[in-house]
Structure 1
Amino acid sequence: MSAVLLIELLGSPRIVRDAVELQPRGRKSWGLLAYLLLANRPSRQRLAELLFPEADDPLGALRWSMSDLRRVLGPDCQLYGDPVVIELPSTAVVDVNLVFRGHWDEALELRGLDRELLEGVSVSGSATYDLWLASERRRLSGAAEAVLHEATLACLAAGRISDAVGYAWRLVDLNPLDEAHHVLLVQCLRAAGDHAGAAEQVARCTDLFLRELGIEPSSALREAGRMLTLNLFDARPYSLRALLEAGEAAVAAGAVSQGLQTLREAAALARQSQDRAMLARILVALGHALVHVGRGGDEEGGAALHEAATQALEAGDVQVAAAAYRELAFADLERGRYDRVQKFLDRATRLAADNAVELSWIESIAGACLSDQGRHRQAFEVLGSALERAEQTDASEAMVFARCWMGRLHLLRGEWSDAARVLEQAWREARTCWMALSPLPDSLLAEVQMQTGDLKAAEARLERAFVMGRQLDDPCLESIAIRGLGLVAVAQGQFSRGYRLLVDAPRLSRRLPDSYRWIEGYGLDALCAVAVEQGQAAAPRWIADLEALAARCGMRELLVKALLHRASLGEAAAFEVARDLVATIDNPALHAALFAASS
């Protein structure tokens, strides 16, 4: 029988085997174990360079640390080869794996969930290793936030209000400058009936943001603190259906506030009637509206969708449950919680069975998630399947959605003709069936035109996309269009104007707490490139912002860009970390950028 093995790297690290706590003899052994469990399979030479750069015999020092780890991990673990492979028994529990891939209730049991990777352990190796460790600490902190966020919403939806309040407080403590965490805490306090506490939290968050950031929180925080008045009347089946249809129609027509109010009233009535199936349908409609068009409404939408999934499963309506999980995945995609995205999509896929339209949506979100992380080969396969399903079922909106991400994938890889073809088609189709999405392919297509030298056409497209994004009050669409306009201005020699526009791009994206984080990072990357080229004094600050965002979310490609920007300012260690990361990303354009940076 295999020994019971627990490996904890969060907080003060420890290894427990058969209820006996063991410690490696060398502090570098902790650094080696963390790298083997979290990084791509490294060669022995690379490990020796990272951890033992000053040793007389770096490879010998590595062999000693590997032997040290074998002793504490026990005979059921294998550590061998070049590249080095670590194999643990299936019964082993590794805290960092649970944070990334475990269920939230399992991850919450971890001793060090809210704490830093290798806390209190000095693993001073090379500057390159120190950069890698800082990046992993951010990534694990972001993953811990995602666990606590899902736990809060799930408990809120299940009526476990006290637990939800506790988890929301932990979220705020973990990252107090993320407005979405404060919004969720206020929502939980109101659900607990603590309206005075909710108002106090709004005031505390406002004071904190003014003091630390020099800005007030968005309107989403104030909205979360307001009491909602619902106009309820006797519930009858036709009344619920009528309210659902009226709410959806109002949202689709652009009367978002009125539509949301109607859907909230419908949900309250459905709870009174104890009609689980109808309640689930209404909650999916409410959650969808809040996530997609209810600006700053992702936290309320997430709670509605969690409840919808539970109610639908209890009513036996697996298709509605699949839709709820798919919408939860989309909300997490926007916030860069990619491990949680895949978990929701896995549940949605199992429930969707052979529903081709639903599977097309699921695969489109999965493809966008993979692409955000720089997993291009997988993204191509998944998005190709999504497009095929959408075309076979004539699902026009799903088709447009999948084409947008496929076009973006070609753009990121520098495949201009393929990108132009796919994005042109996505834009044309969006104009006929999903006008509110059309600024996205318009902005991406403009970048293709800019890269191929047609600045005038690109500028016209971007101006149109920006105006429409402003009319829709969509900070993400405004941000990506302003990013493009800034790059066009720079290309036209308007350096000062271009730089100002690029400074505005990520700021616009952050206008609401639930905006698409990848677009914020994409804007920061362009800003960093121009700031470095122009010798702007603020360049290191923008690079630090990009690096922190990309590392926390696991946007590997944007993290490489941040590291290359640092390398361009003379940090050789940043180039080394970028080189290691690029080896795991199948993007020829990124490989070319690395080669250019090394020249």
Structure 2
Amino acid sequence: MGRRELAAEIFADVDDPLGALRWCLASLRKALGSETLQGDPIALNLPPETYVDVWAMDAGEVPDMASTRFLDGIEPASGAEFETWLMIEREHVASELYGTLRRESMRALSAGNHPKARALAETAVTCRPLDESAHIILVKCLAASGEMAAAVAHVDATEARILNETGDKPSPALRAAARKSIADVPQGVSKNASIDALIQSGKAAVSAGAVDAGIDCLRRAAEDAEEVRNDYLQALALQELGTALIHAIRGFDDEGALALQSAADLAVGIGSSEIAAQSLCELGYSEALAGRRPAAARYLEDAMGYAKNNQDCLASIHAFIGFNLVDWGKVELGISHFQQALELARSAGNRRREIWALGIGARGVLRAGRAHEARDWLKQCLDLCDETRWLAFRPWAVALLAEARLALHEISNSTQNGLEEALALSNQLGDPCWQAATARSIALVQIDAQNYSEAGKWLAHSRERCCSVTDLYAGLLVEILSDQVRLSQLRGDVQDAASLARDLLPVVAKTHADGHLDFAMSAMSSSTSS
């Protein structure tokens, strides 16, 4: 960065910004060495022995940090622009640090290194004290090491604290985490020949909508396989269990991630590339859903290495990479991965993977400003939903199709009717994500008709539905908050816009929603100046 630009960023309110910058750089050179921070633009040129914790974290390592807060204790009296930058970077660093601690804690737990797992989980809790996910991992670590009393005590204390500070009680997943093992259920049949049957029964039950029964079968299969020391069947059972916990039941993504991490480690140990690839792929999806984008990217990169020539698995990996990249603000690159996913899914003959890539990928195409193309993707998606009778996916595609038609000025009464039907189906399915998406699209239609009061109610409902579960879709929450800011601006409600912008910016930073960063900063700036 050039000296004038840096001086304007940091010392905008002083009489001599360049002079203040020169003084600071000279002080830093005394501490770091005379060759550092020279030139214009300024070159770091740090001494070879310098340790930079955030660089270590970017490389995927757990950094040696005295605090979990970036530049903790440093509150420079500088301009508003630098203060905003510091707030955003603190959220970015905290998010990436938490993702790194979470990943390494799960790996240590899977490897049976309980002291290391616990230490990392405790640091993660310090990083995100009100994040239920962090506490679930810590409770799992305590339970796995046999400290059941400590696990239950931590659950009690955490429930009380979260309820006291947020007014909301944690989900049942927190207390459910206080089991000694991932597959800790009442003793069942442990014959080796029955394990595969349990896995298949569990998969079938989950697919048919009997989720609780299916998960119970998969838990029993994992436990029985562990008892007879069949690593392959244990890895397979844990992979299916983790996938079901993430996709088929709300609020249990953290337990699902632990099952998948164990499955991946077992699979790598026995050389089962397919199970390793599928498990790492689902871990990447879970992280992407939560907005932990760097962690998601690492899992999906690892999955790619194990997938080899498995077209079906590669289709999922590319679709999840696209999903992560679009919400990261890297839209065109994300679309290219969705296109690869579609080719692979069609080659593999997997219609559901094709439907998912069309429906989720269309959101990226729409964000790229290609509404006609997005509309075509969504029409194909809905045709395939009807053809394969995958009705549970329809609400998302209908909601997004309405948004595409808004962009093309094609809104009609049938659009509103279709949204209402999609919302009714979402309610029957009990899916908060689909409920939030359809309510948001109804709000956008109301905004287009200038029915701002109705739109506000629908957006509030959409946000409430999106936030009603702990494993929410972070990218959708960012969209809803952004829509609320825009609506307040349209209504001329400066105070409400300012309040919503203050809600939006930390979420954008925390979830690496870089495509929304300029809008969030602009909204906050204009609201403040007004």
Residue of structure 2 in register with 1:111 after alignment: 65
The correspondence for 1:135, drawn from 78, 88, 107, is: 88
Closer, same or farther: CA 123–304 of 1 in aligned 2, 3 Å: same
1:388-434: CA deviation from partner (whole Å, max 9, x where unpaired): 22233333222222223331112123321111111221232234344
1:107-157: CA deviation from partner (whole Å, max 9, x where unpaired): 3xx123x43222233433321011101110111111121122112222222
- Asked if 2 retains the 8 angstrom alpha-carbon contact of 1:528 and 1:565, the reply is yes
The correspondence for 2:486, drawn from 508, 520, 529, is: 529
Equivalent residue runs for 1:18-167 within 5 Å = 42-59=1-18, 61-62=20-21, 80=39, 82=41, 86=44, 93-103=51-61, 106-107=62-63, 110-112=64-66, 114-167=67-120
Identity among equivalent positions (%) equals 29
Cα deviation, residue 66, structure 1: 5.4
1:321-378: CA deviation from partner (whole Å, max 9, x where unpaired): 1111111101101111111111111111111122222222111111111111111232
The correspondence for 2:243, drawn from 288, 300, 303, is: 288
Residue of structure 1 in register with 2:201 after alignment: 246
Residue of structure 2 in register with 1:589 after alignment: none
Closer, same or farther: CA 222–132 of 1 in aligned 2, 3 Å: same
- Asked if 2 retains the 8 angstrom alpha-carbon contact of 1:447 and 1:458, the reply is no
Equivalent residue runs for 1:117-516 within 5 Å = 117-225=70-178, 229-236=185-192, 238-433=193-388, 434-453=390-409, 454-516=411-473
- Classify the secondary structure of the residue corresponding to 1:242: helix
Cα deviation, residue 167, structure 1: 3.0
Q: Distance in 2 between matches of 1:301 and 1:186?
A: 14
Residue of structure 2 in register with 1:555 after alignment: 513
- Classify the secondary structure of the residue corresponding to 1:193: coil
- Asked if 2 retains the 8 angstrom alpha-carbon contact of 1:235 and 1:272, the reply is no
- Aligned residue type for 1:269: D
Q: Distance in 1 between matches of 2:318 and 2:87?
A: 33
- Asked if 2 retains the 8 angstrom alpha-carbon contact of 1:446 and 1:457, the reply is no
Aligned length: 524
- TM-score (norm: length of structure 2): 0.91
- Classify the secondary structure of the residue corresponding to 2:185: coil
Unaligned runs of 5+ in 1: 1-41, 573-599
- Asked if 1 retains the 8 angstrom alpha-carbon contact of 2:335 and 2:365, the reply is no
RMSD across aligned positions (CA): 2.6
Closer, same or farther: CA 135–349 of 1 in aligned 2, 3 Å: same
Cα deviation, residue 480, structure 1: 1.3
Closer, same or farther: CA 493–211 of 1 in aligned 2, 3 Å: same
Q: Distance in 1 between matches of 2:136 and 2:378?
A: 36
Closer, same or farther: CA 297–494 of 1 in aligned 2, 3 Å: same
Unaligned runs of 5+ in 2: none
Farther off after superposition, 309-318 or 175-184? 175-184
- Aligned residue type for 2:5: R
Q: Distance in 2 between matches of 1:73 and 1:201?
A: 43
Residue of structure 2 in register with 1:18 after alignment: none
- Classify the secondary structure of the residue corresponding to 2:170: coil
- Asked if 1 retains the 8 angstrom alpha-carbon contact of 2:273 and 2:306, the reply is yes
Q: Distance in 2 between matches of 1:342 and 1:95?
A: 20
- Classify the secondary structure of the residue corresponding to 1:115: coil
Farther off after superposition, 301-310 or 468-477? 468-477
The correspondence for 2:476, drawn from 507, 511, 519, is: 519
- Asked if 1 retains the 8 angstrom alpha-carbon contact of 2:139 and 2:155, the reply is yes
Closer, same or farther: CA 122–189 of 1 in aligned 2, 3 Å: closer
- TM-score (norm: length of structure 1): 0.81
- Asked if 2 retains the 8 angstrom alpha-carbon contact of 1:153 and 1:303, the reply is yes
- Asked if 2 retains the 8 angstrom alpha-carbon contact of 1:199 and 1:225, the reply is yes
Cα deviation, residue 447, structure 1: 1.0
- Asked if 1 retains the 8 angstrom alpha-carbon contact of 2:260 and 2:283, the reply is yes
Q: Distance in 1 between matches of 2:460 and 2:230?
A: 50
Q: Distance in 2 between matches of 1:202 and 1:432?
A: 46
Q: Distance in 1 between matches of 2:251 and 2:132?
A: 10
Cα deviation, residue 44, structure 1: 4.1
Closer, same or farther: CA 92–440 of 1 in aligned 2, 3 Å: farther
Q: Distance in 2 between matches of 1:186 and 1:165?
A: 9
